[in-house]
Amino acid sequence: MTILRNICRELRGKHEIAVFATTSPSRLADLGQKSLHKVVDGYTVKYFPRNLKRTRFNISVAMGIALRNCMKDFDIVHVHSWRQFQDMMVHHYSRKFKVPYVLQAHGALPLTNHAKSSKILYDLFFGQRVLNDASSVIASSELEAEQYENYRVHPSKIHIIPPGVNSNAFVDQEGISSFKAKFSIDVDSEIVLYLGRVHRLKGIDFLMHAFSNFIRTFPQHKNVLLVIAGPDDGFLTEAVHLAKTLQIENRMIFTGMLTQKDKVAAMMGSRLVVSPEKSNVFLIVPLEAAAAGRPVIVSKSNYVSHTVEDRGFGISVEYGDVTGLAKSINYLVENPNISRTLGNRGREFVVEDMNWAKVARKYENVYLDAVSNN
């Protein structure tokens, strides 16, 4: 998880850090071990096997045993999950050994349709107590803070900390040409980039319909290409079929999952980045695009639109407004100077206000307050 890794990297010299994570039993079996301990960038990561692979509850008996044995040695625990086995284990042993914990749900609080009944039961028997007994909870935005309040978490326990961005990673000019060569993209092509999971709820179909509208309405831009970059999460087959139906398959590329290097190169090599998702507590991709100096287009109903509009590094459109999105794409393509200004403004904002050194200090203050108040 990007947030966890960056917190650890920034605080590793000041505090002793141990990360507990799960992994597949087959990975450990291949290594001939029951658990795996690694030192990564100056902090310890301990991997434990998952049991009952078909459940989404992420059960790990080995992690539960480790928490029982080690909890009393910790000053603070930061739980980066919600409705998972480890939440219950941390809650149980935290109370037993009087060790405070901080919980961060990472946007998982709302009851979505998937497994809704089981989530309601979990919240009823365990979840509410896990939230109530946390020393603090972390929200990435005011929207997520409201979601915690809907679970009757007292506002004094809610700390809003937006995700940080490693702006130094988005300076790779040399990788742009290699990215285009890797995916057989003409060097003169202008890339409209979507970066993220290829999932039904990400608004990719909205973007594709808008791009089709853009091609028909502004035929002069024959060198503009739509790149959908990210792993398949159940929607790729439908998206490929939609591209054929809209007759835009010759103006689109599905890259699949990208390495971090290719991800940076894709950002740096794009004219603009579109994050069309309808709703999310806080999207990180628009901030990464800003770090790369690229303007962004986001859905107005997505909470990140407030940051995009307030800081002036992109455009927000109504979700589902195909014509509006097509016109916004054309506006940024036809006005390179404006695109450059928006991109530079976004880069400055991220470097000054969203750098991980500053964000990690906010987490550290939450930890120190929880320990002192324990």
**1 has a pLDDT exceeding 90:** no
Using CA atoms, how far apart are residues 46 and 60, in angstroms rounded to an integer? 12
- The residue-averaged pLDDT of 8-25 equals 89
pLDDT at residue number 118? 78
**109 lies in the same domain as 205:** no
Of 259, 195, 248, 199, the residue nearest 224 (C-alpha) = 248
Residues spanned by the domain of 200: 167-353
Q: Say what the pTM is.
A: 0.83
- 177 & 108 share domain: no
The DSSP 8-state label assigned to residue 314 in this structure reads E
Burial 132-150 (b: 16+ CB within 10 A, else e): eebbbbbbbbebbbebbee
- Sign, CA dihedral 126-127-132-137, equals positive
Binned at pLDDT 50, 70 and 90, residue 114 comes out as low
Other CB atoms within 10 A of residue 109 CB: 22
Same domain as 226, residue 158: no
Reported as a single tens digit per residue, the pLDDT across 240-294 is: 999 999 999 999 999 999 998 899 999 999 999 999 999 887 788 999 999 999 9
Same domain, 276 and 369: no
Instruction: Tell me the C-alpha to C-alpha distance, in Å, between residue 358 and each of 36, 311, 352, 365, 372.
Output: 32, 18, 9, 11, 21
- For 304-330, write each residue's pLDDT tens digit: 999 999 999 999 999 999 999 999 999
Instruction: Find all residues with CB under 8 Å of 205, minimum gap 6, and list them.
Output: 238, 239, 242
Residue 325 and residue 252 share a domain: yes
Does residue 284 share a domain with residue 342?
Answer: yes
Averaged pLDDT of the chain: 91
Taking each helix axis from N to C end, the angle separating 2-11 and 356-373, rounded to the nearest 10 degrees, works out to: 80
Helix (H) or strand (E) holding 193: strand 190-195
pLDDT digits (tens, 9 = 90+) for 25-65: 666 655 556 567 788 888 999 988 888 766 667 788 989 99
The CA-atom distances, in angstroms, between 62 and each of 21, 50, 198 are: 11, 8, 33
Mean pLDDT value of segment 70-87 = 94
pLDDT at residue number 59: 86
For the chain, percent of residues with pLDDT exceeding 70: 94
Q: What is the mean pLDDT of residues 63-74?
A: 94
Q: What is the mean pLDDT of residues 150-176?
A: 87
Question: Residue 332 — very low, low, confident or very high, per pLDDT cuts 50/70/90?
Answer: very high
Count up the domains in the chain and report the number: 2
On whether both 230 and 202 belong to a single domain, the answer is: yes
101, 367 Cβ separation under 8 angstroms: no
Q: Are 218 and 236 within one domain? A: yes
- Residue among 159, 136, 160, 139 at smallest CA distance from 372: 136
For position 350, what pLDDT does the model report?
94
Residue 210 and residue 84 share a domain? no
- When pLDDT is averaged across residues 99-124 and rounded to a whole number, the result is 84
3-state class of 270 per DSSP? coil
Same domain, yes or no, for 145 and 232? no
Question: The tokens of 46 are what?
Answer: 């301990």
Note whether 204 and 68 are same-domain residues: no
CATH code where residue 23 lies? 3.40.50.2000
Q: Is the pLDDT of residue 174 over 70?
A: no
**Looking at this protein, which amino acid is placed at residue 221?**
H
Q: Say if residues 333 and 224 touch (Cβ distance below 8 Å).
A: yes
Domain shared by 39 and 22, yes or no: yes
